[in-house]
Structures are given as C-alpha cells and as structure tokens.
Amino acid sequence: MSLILRAFPVVLQRSKPFAFISLPFYRNHLKFKLIKPTKRRISVISSASPPVETLVSDSKPVLPVKDTLEWVSRTAYCGDLSVDDVGKRVRLCGWVALHRIHGGLTFINLRDHTGIIQITTLPSQFPDSHSIINKLGLEYVIAVDGVVRSRPSESFNKKMKTGMIEVAAENVQVLNSVRSKLPFLVTTVDDAKESVKEEIRLRYRYLDLRRQQMYSNLMLRHKVVKLIRRYLEDVCCFTEIDTPLLSRSTPEGARDYLVPARVQPGMFYALPQSPQLYKQMLMVSGFDKYYQIARCFRDEDLRADRQPEFTQLDMELAFTPIEDMLRLNEDLIRHIFQEIKGIQLPIPFPRLTYAEAMSRYGSDKPDLRFALELKDVSVIFSDSTFKVFADSLASGGIIKALCVPSGAKRFSNTALKKGEIYNEAIKSGAKGLPFLRVLDDGEIEGIPALASSLDSKNREELLRQCSARSGDLILFAVGHHTSVNKTLDRLRTFLGHELGLIDHSAHSILWVTDFPMFEWNSTEQRLEALHHPFTAPNPDDLQDLSTARALAYDMVYNGVEIGGGSLRIHKRELQEKVFEMLKKNLGIFLRLWTWELLLMGELLMGWTV
C-alpha cells in the first residue's frame, strides 16, 4: 500500500497549496495558481522521504494561453498518418515530445496516444507559427494545423512508423504550457536505460503514464481482457456476473481490509480477497458457467507479484472433472498468446506434481527456461565426518546440491565466502554456503573439512549424481527440507540470471498439480489450508486428510504463477471435517450444503498495473 500512497504526495507551494480532491491516478484534480516563469522554491513531502527543497527554473518562457475555455477538434491522429495522406490538410493535437533546430528550421515531434509525427516549420511562409514553435518546451500541449508531406529521402526514419512523412505547420495554438522543470523525460529513445527511480515515477504518475512503455502495458491489459470476454462468452458460453465488494469476511490466504458500517456502529464490511462466497452461491443457484473480471483486496506484505489491490479473472464451472478444467484454461491461454503475440504454446501443457517440482527445483513455480536441477545427496553423506552435515542429518534434515556448469572459475573463494552469491544464500535464511570445486583431474577442493570427508567412492558417486565435470562448482544447502529448497531455489534463480543461462526467447508454461491440502503453521501450532478450505482432496487420500493431496493446480509461466484453482468439496460431512481440522467455524458456508452442492471447479488468473 505504501507504493500506492507514494504516488499521491502532498505538494506544497509557498504561494498557494495544491489540493488533492480525489485519490485514483486518473482523477488528480489540482488547483493551480499561475505564476511568473522565474525561479521558485518547491517543497515536496511524501510518505517515504523527508521534505526536500530544490530550486527549479523554467527552461522556456511561458507562452500565452487564451483565458477563455475553448475546445479544439482534431481531424487526424499522429500515429495514424501515412504516405497515403500526403497532401492532406490536418489538425493534430498532442504533447511536444522532442524539440530541435536544424539549418534554420525548427522541428518538433508531436505525440498522442497513437504515436509520434514530425512537425516542421516554414519560416518564410508562416513566420508566426515558426516563432511559436521555437518557444515551445517539452510536454507543452498544442494544436497544429498543416499539410502532410513526404520527408526528403535522406531524412527518412525507419525506426518511426511515420518516419517517411511530416506535417508542415501553418498554424499553431498553445493549449497548455509547462510551468516547471520536468522531473524526468517522458519520451526517450527505445534503448535508453531506465534511470528514474520508481518513487519519482509514482510521485508523478500522471507523467509516467504518458511514457510509451506504460501506455503499451495498459493497452496490452485492455486487449487481454477483451479477448478473455469474447472467448469465454462466445466460444465457451460463460455468463459474466458482478458480485458485491462489500461483504462479510471469507477464509482466504491473507488479512482482510475492513470498512466500518456507518449504520451499525462496531460492525465492519470486508473487502473481498476473492468472490469466494458469491461464486459458490451462483453454482448452487444453477448458473452453470460463471466468470467475472474481479477486483480483489489483500492486506499482505508487498512483493513483486503481490499487490494490496489487484484484478483477477475468476471463473467457476459446474459438473466439471479436473481434466476438462485444465483443458479449457489451456485453450484460453493458448488463444491469448496466439492472438496477442503470435506465440504458439505446446499442446498439451507439460505437468509437474508439487512433489516433483519441489524435489527438482526447490519451488512450486519453477522457471524451466534453464536446466539447473537440485539433487538430494543425503545418502552420500550419511556417514560423513563433516560436522555441519552430520548434525543436520542426525536431526532429521536433508542435504541437497546444485551443480553450476563452469562455475569453479566463475566464482572465486572470496565470492563464495562473502560475495554476492554468498549473500543470496544468507538472505534465504541459510547460515552459510558449503561448496566444492571439481578440478581438471577429477579431484575436488573447497571447504577443507567437507572435501576431506569424502572418500574416493563417495566422491565419484557425488560427481555422478550431480553430473559434475571438471571446472564445475557444487553448492550445498543443509537443514529442514523447506529451508533447503528455499535456499537452493533462490541460488538457482540468481545463477540463471548471473550466468546468462535463461533463454529469454523461450516460453516455459506448465501445470503444477497435486498440492498438499494442508501445511503446518509452526507459529500458531495448527494446520492451515495451502489453497483454501473448500479444495477437494484426492479420492485416494481420504483415509488421512492431514497428509492428503489436493485436487488443486497452478499455471506457471517463466517462473511466475499466473493462475490457479481447484475442484471443490461437494459433500457436507467432508467439508465439516476440514473445518474442524482447521479450527474454523464457518456456519454460513455450511448453509449451502442444506440443498447440496454440486461438483464444480474454479480457476483464477491475476494481473495488475
């Protein structure tokens, strides 16, 4: 939430304050006091930093803007013009993206939501327009009347969609000018390195959203949502139904945001973490295939893939087996990738069970664009004299290894003992980073006590299991299986980026299935639902629900979970037993079973901006 709040600072100007009327980024209504283009002192206060005072000055004189309100009607869009429009008279509106003077002529690039077009002046024919354009600054809002013409052949710009044409300006009107120095450039070259801090971008979100990358992100989101709606409704016969935002709390994986009920003091609504209750009601009510583009709220710590407010595709189907559910969503995602990017995804998607994913990659959302795999080498060290390994095995822990091709020369002893790769291990919770190097003659070196604890037989078995060759580096993690997997997963991801092992042109998509139904909360000393308490157990595991596999599934793309779901429990007795195991009193949900639930499945796919 702090990132969002930082997007809306309190900005104070000594002559008169700005007043925010509404919080959303698309409703920033500001009160301005017109001031002269002289140096002035501005104080900026944000939730993340102390007040900072800077002196700024206008790079351009403020051009006169008509005091009366006037609406200008444009006849064309910048990015839509082409050589077919040569000779056409047009009126364009937009922002000044680039300003330059060359050979007595002044050129600007004019930008609107469709793209950029070059505007040139004709000093002898239209001196007034030439004079106005000379005084324009970046991000001025202007209207230009002129004629589309071809550029000279030596001035063609193949990097621009409109690079073969320009508009000769005959009349220019300044609709709004910029009265302070821009905090960052809105228009940059395509390969410019991102140098603006995220905090600055969020503080000036209205400028940030003018940038081509941000605009493209929002347009991509729009196209994906439109495709989803068309596919689900026209191909799969789904019904879109909006559910309430103000409701009672439902059991999910995070804390709720609460809204006080004015008419019932002491009572609160909960903003939905998902439309859990309502979609189950819809299934009981006989709506066979439901979906919605749902707004959800979760009070949890911020991470790269976790936001307090986000949007997700939420769908529920009646009378569906798990294979039909997976097939439908594979077809949907395959359709989106093909239509938006022309990418063909595999048929069917590969699958890994949760146990396989954790064993081989240490993660339930593995990135399979590179091939580093973890190896359990506990047996090799079962009689080890290396105290760290022996103590861990004695206390029920495990030992896993990660072989890094050609890593022996890439990482020095210093790097492995206190460098960046060592710090990655420590950040994951490890107490150290044991390692061995494979020498050219097949011998090993590294942590002396570890290397000397291996006889020739165990050394050969270790190299065989890890597929290690001369010049390779073997990293180890020891302890409880959860912490071991966490450490090696983090190291695997770090090495994939650091060594350039990731094929960025590849598209790795797969299903991870057979999740555990429950996980143990050591802090509260109780079981918790790994997915949610309505997830159905595998029918083969009903004898012991505490260790049962769930009929749950996640879709993983390039190491990121992009969707997940499960089949539902539809038997009251089983649902009551699950609630008892979780020590939850959820009578409101059990009322649904008064009329019996039907077989149903769900899937949720999330995205945010």
Q: What total number of domains does the chain contain? A: 4
- Is 32 within the bounds of a domain? no
Q: Report the share of the chain in percent with pLDDT over 90.
A: 59
CA 24 to CA 2: how far, in whole Å? 14
Of the candidates 525, 527, 576, the residue with the CA atom closest to the CA atom of residue 548: 527
Full domain range(s) for residue 214: 196-236
CA 521 to CA 270: how far, in whole Å? 24
Residue 168 has pLDDT above 90, yes or no: yes
Beta strands in 410-559 (DSSP E): 435-438, 444-446, 473-479, 509-513, 518-521, 526-529, 552-557
Are both 253 and 335 inside the same structural domain?
yes
Residue 34: the pLDDT is 37
For residues 595-600, give the mean pLDDT: 54
Are both 524 and 458 inside the same structural domain?
no
For residues 145-167, give the mean pLDDT: 93
Of the candidates 49, 36, 51, 113, the residue with the CA atom closest to the CA atom of residue 78: 113
- Is 560 within the bounds of a domain? yes
- Is 64 within the bounds of a domain? no
CA 318 to CA 305: how far, in whole Å? 30
Strand pairing class (552-557; 526-529) = unpaired
- Is 402 within the bounds of a domain? yes
CA 297 to CA 312: how far, in whole Å? 11
CATH number, domain at 425?
3.30.1360.30
Least confident of 23-27, 225-229, 335-339, 439-443: 23-27
What are the strands of the beta sheet with 473-479, ordered from one edge? 374-376, 398-404, 473-479, 435-438, 444-446
| Residue type at position 335 | H
Q: Are 243 and 278 in contact (CB under 8 A)?
A: yes
Residue 390 has pLDDT above 70, yes or no: yes
Are both 481 and 559 inside the same structural domain?
no
Are both 498 and 391 inside the same structural domain?
yes
255 forms bridges with which residues in the sheet? Answer: 299
Are both 492 and 414 inside the same structural domain?
yes
Residue 49 has pLDDT above 90, yes or no: no
257-304 per-position pLDDT tens digit = 999 999 999 999 999 988 888 888 888 888 889 999 999 898 888 777
Residue 497: the pLDDT is 94
Least confident of 10-19, 128-137, 547-556, 600-609: 10-19
CA 278 to CA 269: how far, in whole Å? 15
Residue 514: the pLDDT is 94
Are both 490 and 460 inside the same structural domain?
yes
Residue 179: the pLDDT is 87
- Is 4 within the bounds of a domain? no
With cut-offs at 50, 70 and 90, classify the pLDDT of residue 191: low
Of the candidates 213, 171, 215, 179, the residue with the CA atom closest to the CA atom of residue 196: 213
Residue 227: the pLDDT is 95
CATH number, domain at 585?
3.30.930.10
Are both 223 and 283 inside the same structural domain?
no
CA 258 to CA 256: how far, in whole Å? 6
Q: Report the share of the chain in percent with pLDDT over 70.
A: 84
Boundary residue ending a domain (469, 502, 535): 502
432-491 per-position pLDDT tens digit = 999 999 998 888 999 999 999 999 999 999 999 999 999 999 999 999 999 999 999 999
Q: How far is CA 187 from CA 143, 158, 204, 259, 564, in A?
A: 19, 18, 15, 41, 38
Are both 322 and 422 inside the same structural domain?
no
With cut-offs at 50, 70 and 90, classify the pLDDT of residue 53: very low
Residue 21 has pLDDT above 70, yes or no: no
Are both 522 and 424 inside the same structural domain?
no
Residue 64 has pLDDT above 80, yes or no: no
- Is 76 within the bounds of a domain? no
Boundary residue ending a domain (187, 206, 236): 236
Segment holding 259, helix H or strand E: strand 258-260
Are both 516 and 494 inside the same structural domain?
no
The region, left, alpha or beta by phi > 0 then psi within -120 to 50, assigned to residue 580 is: alpha
CATH number, domain at 131?
2.40.50.140
Residue 46: the pLDDT is 34
Residue with the two structure tokens 């009349």: 171
Are both 259 and 346 inside the same structural domain?
yes
Q: What mean pLDDT value characterizes the chain?
A: 84
Boundary residue ending a domain (457, 478, 502): 502
310-329 per-position pLDDT tens digit = 899 999 988 888 999 999 99
Q: Are 444 and 454 in contact (CB under 8 A)?
A: yes
| Residue type at position 321 | P
CA 518 to CA 533: how far, in whole Å? 9
Strand pairing class (560-567; 600-607) = antiparallel
374-389 per-position pLDDT tens digit = 999 999 999 899 999 9
Of the candidates 74, 245, 227, 224, the residue with the CA atom closest to the CA atom of residue 143: 74
Are both 480 and 515 inside the same structural domain?
no
First to last CA, the chain: 14
- Is 38 within the bounds of a domain? no
With cut-offs at 50, 70 and 90, classify the pLDDT of residue 112: very high
Enumerate the H helices of 41-197 as residue ranges.
127-134
| Residue type at position 396 | G
* CB contact set of 397 (below 8 Å; sequence gap of 6+): 478, 479, 480, 481, 484
Collapsed DSSP state (helix, strand, coil) of residue 41: strand
Residue 268: the pLDDT is 92
Q: How far is CA 294 from CA 160, 274, 320, in A?
A: 38, 7, 22
Of the candidates 354, 298, 309, 348, the residue with the CA atom closest to the CA atom of residue 328: 348
Residue 25: the pLDDT is 38
Collapsed DSSP state (helix, strand, coil) of residue 374: strand
State CA 106 to chain mean position distance: 41
Residue 26 has pLDDT above 80, yes or no: no
The region, left, alpha or beta by phi > 0 then psi within -120 to 50, assigned to residue 61 is: beta
Collapsed DSSP state (helix, strand, coil) of residue 398: strand
Scored b (16 or more CB within 10 A) or e, 65-83 reads eeeeeeeeeeebbbbebee
- Is 17 within the bounds of a domain? no
Least confident of 31-35, 390-394, 506-510, 519-523: 31-35
